Amino acid sequence: MDRNTAPHFHIRWITGNESRIDWEAFESHDEAEKIAKRLMTPSEVYAIDEFDHACERCAMFLGERKI
């Protein structure tokens, strides 16, 4: 996914009391879920979060983040 102008999904990895949003954006909840199930480790759980064109995570990777 090049530019996330449409709704998209990120995997939120959760380990203990910490969580982080994965860099990769997915076009559907199902696609993100499928990848998360394949990648998760025994010490992790995950959530699938929906974002829109204002996604700060994607902006960071596109070099567009306004500080």
DSSP letters for 11-30: EEEEETTEEEE-S--BSSHH
Has residue 61 got a pLDDT over 80?
A: no
Domain layout of the chain by residue ranges: 8-62
Q: How far apart are the first and last CA of the chain?
A: 24
Residue 35's pLDDT is what? 97
pLDDT band at 64 (very low <50, low <70, confident <90, very high): low
Residue 5's pLDDT is what? 62
For 3-60, write each residue's pLDDT tens digit: 446 799 999 999 989 999 898 999 999 999 999 999 999 999 999 999 988 888 887 7
